[in-house]
Structure 1
Amino acid sequence: MENSLFIILIFVFFFAYYTLNKKISHLENEISELRKKATKNAQLTEIKEERIDPEVKFTLSEDIQEVQPIKQQPPVSKETPPQKDWIAPIFDFLKQNILTIIGIFTLVLGIGYFVKYAIDKNWIGETSRAGIGFLIGGGIMLTAHFLRKNYAVFSSIITGGGIAILYFTTTIAFREYHLFTQNLAFIITCIITLISILLSYYYKSETLIIFSLFGGFLAPLMISTGQSNYPFLFTYIMVLNIGMLTIAFLKHWKSVGWIAFIFTNIYLFYWAVEKPEILSIYFYIIAYIIFYAFALQSYIKKNVLSTYDILMLVLINFSSIIGIVYIFNELEYEPVIIFPIIFALINSLLLLKEYNKKDFGISYSVFTGITVSLVTIAFALQFKTHLITTVWAIEATLLLFIWKKTSLNIFKLCFYVLFPLVIVTQMVTWAEYYTAKNLNIVFNPVFLTSSVTVITTLANLILLKKLPETQKQDNSFFEYTFKILSFGVIYVALLLEIIYHISEKPWSFIFSIGLLFSVYYLFIILLFRKKLDINKDFETGLIYIFLFLLMLNVSFSASGIVTSILVKKIDINFYAVHLLYWIPFIYTLWKILPESDFFKKEIAYWFVSITLITVISCELYHLYILANTSDILTVWKFEKHFSILYLPIIWAVLASIFIYLGLKKNISELNKVGFALLGLMILKLYAYDVWQMDNVSRIIAFIILGVILLLSSFMFQRLKNIIKNLVDKKDETIENDNPEMQ
C-alpha cells in the first residue's frame, strides 16, 4: 500500500512538473518576442538621435536673439572608482535565489536521510554507501551542466551542491568507514577542488568558485586525523592560493582573493601559535607575495587602487608582521625588525614610483602611510614593545589617515572597530604592572608600548581635528566618544607608570601624587583646548572635573599627607610639592574661566565659590596644624581650636569678598554665595562654637567678627553710594544731551 501511494505521488509530481514547465516555456517565448520588439524600437530611436550632435546644446539669450552652442564638459576622471554598496548585491542575490539555495540544501539533507535509512535497514554496505554519494554528487553536477545555458545562477548553485556532496562523501568514507588512506582521501579532495575550479572558469561563475574555495580550504579539516603535518598542509594551501590568484587575475573576481586571504591567515596564525618554527616564516613570506600581488592587480593594469585593494594592502602587511614577529619572539631570534624593514622597503619602491611620476594622489598617500607605519613599528619593536598592541595602534592610525585622504567610509568603519581593540590589548599590557618587578623608569616594555599608543592617539586627534566641518557634523557622536577614550587612554598610561615607580611609598603619598598629576593633566588639556579642537560642552565638563579634583585633593589627600608627616612617614618638604596645584588653579580662575562659557549657568558660580572656600579653608587648617604640632596625639586639640576660632573668621572674610565682587561686577549669584556663607558662619558660631570657647576666646572671637562685619557693612554702603552716584550722573548727562526730555 505504501509503495503504491509513493508511486502515485511520484506520478502526480512529474505530471505537475510537466504542466508547469510547459507554461513556463510559453511565458519565455512571449518574453523573448517582447524583447525583440523592444530592441527594434530602441534601434529606431538611436537612428533618429544620431542626426543631432550630442556634444552641442543651444540656448537662447534674452537680450540677443541668437543661437549659442555650448560644449559639454568631459567627465572628470577620478583615481579611485566610486564606492559601491557591496551589501545590496548580496541581498539581491539571496532574494532571487533563496529558494534554490534552500532547495539544494534540502535535497542534500533528504539524500543523507535516505542513505541513513538504508544503512539502518542494512540495504547497502559501506562501499556502496560511498559509491551512492559519489554518483549522486556527480549526477547533480551533470544535471547542472545541461541547465547552464538558460539558468546560469541556478546551475552554479546546483553544481555547488553537487561538489558539497562529493566533499562530504569523501570525508565520511575516510573518517567513518576507513575506505581510503589519508593520502588517497587528500588526493580525492584535491581532484574535486581542481574539477570545481576548472568548471568555475569554464562556466564563468563566481558563485561556483566560491563554493569550490570553501571546499578546498575546508578539505584538510575534513580528512584530518588530529596529527599535524604543517609542511604538507601549507604546501597544498599555497598551491591553492596560486590557483585562486590566477583565476582572480583572469576573471577579476575579488571575492576569491578575500576568502583565500581569510582562510590562509587563520591557518597560519593557528600554526604560529601552536607550533612556532622557522619553516612557518617561509610560508608567511609566500602568502605575503601572493596576496600583495592580488592587492596590486588593478594598480598594475590600470594604475588605480580601489577601496578594497587599499584595505588588502594594509591587512597583508600588518597581519604578516604580527605572525612573523611573534614567531621570532617565541624562537628568540634577532633582529625582530628585519621583516618590518623589508616590507617597508617594498612599499617604499612603489612610493618612489609615484614620486617620480609626480603623482601625489591617493596611491602616493597610501604607500607613504604604509611605509611610515612599518618603519615606526620596526623602531617600536626594537625597544621590546608588545607586538599586538603596537601593531594595532599604528594600523588604526594608518586607517584613519587613509580615510582622511580618500574619504572612503570603509576605512573609518575599520578604524572605529580596531581602536577599541587597541584599548583592550593596551589594558592587557597595563596588567603587567601588577606582576612585573624592577621595571626601568620609562624605558620598560610596558610604558614604551603605552608610549606608542599615546603617540598614535595624539596623531588620531590631530587627524580628526583637520576634518572638514561637514564630516565633523556627520561623525560628531563618534568623534566625541573617541576624544573621551583617547584622553582616557593617555591619562591612564601616564598615571600607571607614575604609580608603579612610587608604589613603595605610603598610600597618602601615592594618592596625592595621583591627584596632582590628574589636576595638571586636565589643566594641560584646558590650556590647549583650542588646538585640540575641544567644543564648549566638553570644555565645561572638564572644568567641573578639574574643580572637583581640587576639592578632593585638599580635603582628603592633604589630610592624609599631614597625618603621614606627623607620624614621620613622609618628609615635611613634600607638602610644598602638594601645594603646586595652586599654579593651575590660579591660572584657571584668572584666564581660562573668563574665556570659556562656564559661567553661562548660574550653578557654575556656586561650584567655583565652594571650591575656593574648600581650598582656602583646608589649606589654612593644614598649615596651622603643621605649624603648631608635631605629635599626632595632639592634633584633635588644635583642630578643635582652629574650627572654633579661626574658621568663622576665614568664612566671614570670604563672604565679604564674594558680596563685594557680586556688587562690583553685578553678579547676583556671588551675592547669594556670600550671604549664604555668612549665614552658615553665624549659625555655626551661635549654635556650636560659642559654647565650646573659654571666656577669653569668646571675647576675642566676638570682637574680631564684629569688627569684620561692621567694616564689611561700611564698605558695602560706600560701594552702594558710589554706584548710585554713578547712575545719577549718567542720567544727568543723558538729560543734558537731550533737551527735549526736560
Structure 2
Amino acid sequence: MEGLLVLLTLTLLVLVIILLGRFSGLARDVGQLRQQLSEFTHRGAKPDAMPPMQAPAEPRPVVPPPPVITPPPTPGIISPPVVATEPEVPTADEEALARMRAAFPDPEPATSVRVNLNKPPVVQAPVVRPPGAPPPPPRPGFFERHPDLEKFIGENLINKIGIAVLVLGIGLLLNYAIGKELLSTTAQTLIGLGAGGLLVFFAHRLRLDYRAFSSVLVAGGIAIFYTSIWFAFHEFHLIGQTLAFIIMVAITGLAVALTLGYDRKELAVISLLGGFAAPFLASSGEGNYKVLFTYLLILDAGMLVLANYKKWYVINVLAFGLTALIMAAWAVGGYPSLEPPPSLMAFTFATAFFLVFYAMNLRYNLRHRHSFTGLDHTLLLVNTGAYYAAGMYFLGDRETRVTGLFTVLLGLFYLLFALYFHRREGVPRTLKLLLIGLVLTFISLAAPVQLQGSYITLFWAAEAVLLLWFAHRTDLRLVERGSVAVTLLMLLSLWMDLLGLYSTTADVLMRPVLNKAWITGMACAISLGATTWLLRRSDRTVDLVPGISRGGWGVFTLVMGIVVLYVVNILELRYQLVRVLHPTVANIALMGFTLLFLLVLERFLQHVAKAGRVVLFGLFVLAAVVFISGYYVNSRAALWLVFNTEQGQGFVLLHALAFVLMVITVVRISLHAREAFVRPSAVWNFYLVTISTFLVVLASQELDHVMIFAQRSTDALTDARRVGYPILWGIGSFLFMWYGMRQRMRLLRVIALCLFAITLLKLFLFDLRSLSEGGRVAAFIFLGALLLVISFMYNKLKGLFVDDATTKNDAGPAV
C-alpha cells in the first residue's frame, strides 16, 4: 500500500508538469493570434466592401482651427516654426478596427495617449535645462510597484511558495521511503535527480511565455539536485568525497549559468536557499564539519561568480548571513565538544569564507566602476568584524599566543589593498579611507591583543609618530587623524602603567632609573616631542580634526610632553628615595627637583611665544607659593626627625640645595616680571607688594631653620623669634629702602617704611615684655641705628628721587 502511495504521488507530480506544458502550448497559440491581429492593425489595409449593417457616416463639417499666436522669439534662441495641421476625421474602417481591438485586447497594453481632435496641435518651444544631471527619482514603494495586489500574489508569490512546498514534499517523500525501506538508496537518489531534472526541463520549455514562473521551477530543480547529492554522499555513502565535490561544483556552475541566462533574481535566491537547506534535510543529526564547510564554501564560491556579473544585494546578504549563522552555531555547539579542538582547521575555513565574501563585496563595483553605497561599506565591516571575532575565538585555544600576529596580518592585508587602490584610478575615495581606517584599527589593536603592560604603551608611542610621518608623506588626512587617536590611547595607557608600576603596594621592586616604568614614560615623552616637531614642519593652520588645527594639536603635544617628562621623573625619584629616606625628607628632594626642572625648562623654552613665557612665570609663582607653605611645614617636620630620630639624615644637604634653587627662582621671577609688567601700573604695584612679602616670609622661615639647627631643639624657637625677627625685618626694611632709593621706586620705599612700622609695633606690643635684658638692648640699639641711617640717607639723597621712573627702560632691574 505504501509503495502504491509513493508511485501515485510521483504520477501526480508528472501529470501536473505535463498539464503545465499543455497550458503553455495553448497560451503560445493565443499569443500568435494576438500577434497576427496586431500586424493586421498596423498595416492599415482597408476592406473591399463596407459591412452590410454599417451605415455610411455623415461627413462632419470641417471647422477651421483658431489662429495660433506665436510669441516673439527670445534673442539668442531660435524657436522652431509652428506648423498647424488639420485634424484627421476617422473613417468607418478605422472604427471597425477599433471594435476588433477592443474585442481582443493585448495582454500588456501600452500606455495610450488621448488626442483631442477638436483642438489643433500646438508645438511648444524647447525648454532650456541648466547643465548637470537631474536628481534620481525616488524609489517607488511596494504598493506603487504592485498596485494590483491580487496580481502580485497570483503571479509572483504563490509560485515561490509552491516550489518551496514541492521541494519540501519531495524531501519528505524520500525520508518516508527511507523509513519504510520501500526503495533502495540508489533508487531514491535517482528519483531525486530525476525530479529535479524534470523541473529544469519543463522550466526551460516554459521560459518564453512564463519567464518568472519558469525561473522558480529552475530554482526548485537546482535545490533538489543539491539535496539529492548531499544524501547520496553524506547519508547513503553512494559516492566518495571527491566525486561529490565535483558534482556539487557542477551543480553550482549550472545554477550560476541558468541565473545569468534567465537574469532572474528569484532564481538565484531560491537556488541559494535550497543549497543551504540541503545539509539539514538529513535525519541522523550527525555531521562532519569538514564536509559541511567544504560544501558551503563551494556554494558561496558560486555566488561569488554570480556577483561578478550581477549586483544583487539580497544574494550577498543571504549568503553571508546564512554562512555566518551556520558557522557560529557550530562554533558554539559542536566545536567545544571536539577533543582536541580543531582550532587551526576552523580558522582555515573562517579565512576562506572571509576571502570569498570580501571579493563578493568588491568585485562587481570595481569591475563595472559602480559607486559604493552605505550597504557595501556595512557588509565589508560586518564581514571583517565576524572574521576577526572568529579568528580570535579559534586562535585563542592555541598553546602559542598568536592573536597579536593575526591582528597584524589582517591589518597588513588591508594595507596591501589600500596601497593598491591608492595607485589605481577609478576607485572611490570612500573605499580607500575605509581600508585605511581598518589598517589603523588592526595595527593599533595588535599591541593590547598580543602584549601586556607597558609594551602596549611603547607600541602606541612608536605608532603615533610613524602614522603622523606617513600621513605627511602621503597627504592622507585620515591617517593623520588616526595618529591623534593613537596618541590619546598612548597617554591613557601610560597613566594606567604609572599607577600600577609606581604603586606603593607593588610586589616587585624596580631598579633605579633603567626600569620599564621610567623607560616607558621617557619613550612617550620622546614620542610627544617628535609629534610636536613634525607638526611644526607642516602647515599649522590646517584643521587636524574639526575644531582643532595642527598648531593647536602641536601645542597640546608639547605641553603633554613636558607634563609626562616631569611626572615620570618625579615618580621615579620618589619611588627610589622612599626606599632609603623617610618620606618627609624625600619630599624635600622632590621640591628641589621641581625647582630644578622649571629652571632647566626655562632655558629650553626661552624663545617661545609670549603665552609660553606667561605660563612659565605662573609655574614659577606656583612653585614659590608651595615652597613657603607646604614645603615649610614639611621641613619643620623633617627638622624634628633630625633631632629626635635617626630618620632625618640627608635633610640638611637637600634643604640647602632646595633653598639655593628657590633663590634662583626668585631672581627669574623678577626678570619675567620686568619683561611682562608695565611701570607704573596697578599690576606692577601688586607685584612689588607680593614679592616683598614673599621675600620677608622666605627669610623668616629660613631664620627658623637656622635657629632650630643652631640650638638643636625646636623648644627655643619662640624665644629666638622675639629677637631674630625684629633684627631680620629691620635688615630687610633697610635693603628695601636702599634699593628703592637707588632705582627711584617710591612704592618700594613705602614698603620699607611699612615693614619698619610693623617691626616696631611687634617689638613694643608683643616682644618687649618677654625679652631678656640683653635681648632688649640688642634689639633697640640695632633698630635705632637703622632708623638713623635711613633718615641720613633721605637727607643726603633728597632731590635725587623726587620723580620716580615711569618706564621700565629707565628703572633698572626689578626686585
- With the length of structure 2 as denominator, give the TM-score of the two structures: 0.54
Q: 1:270 to 1:550 in 2, by over 3 A?
A: farther
- Deviation of the 1:643 alpha carbon: 1.4
Q: Distance in 2 between matches of 1:96 and 1:510?
A: 75
Residues 181-260 of structure 1 aligned to structure 2 (within 5 Å): 183=289, 197=304, 200-204=307-311, 209=316, 220-225=327-332, 227=336, 229-247=342-360, 248=362, 251-252=365-366, 255=377, 259-260=382-383
The amino acid across from 2:502 in the alignment is Y
**Does the 8 Å CA contact 1:662/1:668 hold for their aligned counterparts?**
yes
Which amino acid in structure 1 is aligned with residue 706 of structure 2?
Answer: L
Query: Is the 2:733–2:753 contact (alpha carbons within 8 Å) kept by the matching residues of 1?
Result: yes
**Post-superposition offset of 1:613:** 2.5
Within 5 A, what are the aligned runs for 1:353-502? 386-405=454-473, 409-430=477-498, 431-434=500-503, 435-471=506-542, 474=549, 478-502=553-577
Out of 702, 714, 717, which is 1:635 matched to?
714
Aligned equivalents of 2:448, 2:530: Cα separation in 1: 22
Q: Distance in 1 between matches of 2:426 and 2:607?
A: 38
Tell me the C-alpha RMSD between the 2 structures.
Answer: 5.2
User: Are the counterparts in 2 of residues 512 and 553 from structure 1 also a CA contact under 8 Å?
Assistant: no
Distance of 1:725 and 1:606 partners within structure 2: 20
Task: Give the letter for the 1:239 counterpart.
Answer: A
| Match in the other structure for 2:86 | none
Residues 341-388 of structure 1 deviation map (CA, whole Å, 9 limit, x = unaligned): xxxxxxxxxxxxxxxxxxxxxxxxxxxxxxxxxxxxxxxxxxxx8221
- 2:781 corresponds to which letter in structure 1? I
Q: Give 3-state SS (helix, strand or coil) of 1:418's partner.
A: helix
Query: What does 1:563-574 align with in structure 2 at a 5 Å threshold?
Result: 563-570=640-647, 574=651
> Aligned pair 1:690/2:768, yes or no?
yes
Q: Given the alignment, which residue of 636, 640, 646 partners 2:724?
A: 646
CA gap 1:557/1:96 in 2 versus in 1, 3 angstroms: farther
Residues 409 and 618 from structure 1, CA distance in 2 versus in 1: closer, same or farther, beyond 3 angstroms?
farther
SS in 1 for 2:725: helix
Q: Give 1:503's aligned residue.
A: 578
Instruction: Tell me which residue corresponds to 2:733.
Output: 655
After superposition, where does 1:475-554 map in structure 2 within 5 Å? 478-504=553-579, 505-530=581-606, 535-552=612-629, 554=631
Structure 2 residue matching 1:277: 3-state secondary structure = coil
Relative to structure 1, is the Cα distance of residues 482 and 287 closer, same or farther in structure 2, using a 3 angstrom cutoff?
closer
Q: Give, as a single letter, the amino acid of the residue that structure 2 aligns with 1:535.
A: G
Distance 1:265 1:586 in 2: 61
Please give the secondary structure, in 2, of the residue aligned with 1:707: helix
Tell me the TM-score normalised to structure 1 length. Answer: 0.59
Structure 1 residues 289, 417: CA separation in 2 closer, same or farther (over 3 Å shift)?
Answer: closer
| Distance (whole Å) between structure 2 residues aligned to residue 482 and residue 684 of structure 1 | 52
Give the Å deviation of 1:230.
3.0
Q: Which has the higher helix share?
A: 1
Verify the 8 A CA contact 1:565 1:571 in the aligned structure 2: yes
Does structure 1 conserve the Cα–Cα contact (< 8 Å) formed by 2:308 and 2:363? no
Match of 1:712, SS? helix
Task: Determine if contact 1:399/1:412 at 8 Å carries over to the other structure.
Answer: yes
Structure 1 counterpart of 2:564, one-letter code: V
Is the partner of 1:225 in helix, strand or coil?
helix
Distance 1:705 1:286, change over 3 A: closer
Within-5 A mapping of 1:101-112: none
Contact 2:347-2:395 within 8 A present in 1 as well: no
Cα gap change, 1:573 to 1:322, in 2 (>3 Å): closer
Aligned-pair CA distance for 1:390: 0.9
- Give the C-alpha shift of residue 591 in structure 1: 4.8
C-alpha contact 1:242 1:290 (8 A) present in aligned 2: no
* Structure 1 position 294 matched with structure 2 position 362: no
How much identity, in percent, do the aligned residues show? 17
Q: Does the alignment pair 1:560 with 2:637?
A: yes
| Alignment of structure 1 residues 71-110 onto 2, 5 Å | none
**Residues 1:537 and 1:395: Cα distance change in structure 2 (over 3 Å):** same
SS of the aligned residue for 1:470 comes to coil
User: Structure 2: how far apart are the matches of 1:565 and 1:470?
Assistant: 57
| Residue in 1 that maps onto 2:117 | none
Which residues in structure 2 correspond to 1:264-283 (within 5 Å)?
A: 264-269=387-392, 277=400, 283=406
**Partner deviation per Cα, 1:406-425 (whole Å, 9 max, x = no partner):** 66543453333332322222
Q: Confirm or deny that 1:712 pairs with 2:790.
A: yes
Per the alignment, residue 703 of structure 1 pairs with: 781
Q: 2:343 touches 2:397 (CA, 8 Å); kept in 1?
A: no
Is contact 1:526-1:592 (8 Å) kept?
no
Q: CA 1:554–1:265 in 2, change beyond 3 Å: closer, same or farther?
A: same
Equivalent residue runs for 1:326-337 within 5 Å: 326=451
In the other structure, the counterpart of 1:609 is: 692
Kept in 2: contact 1:644–1:689 (CA 8 A): yes
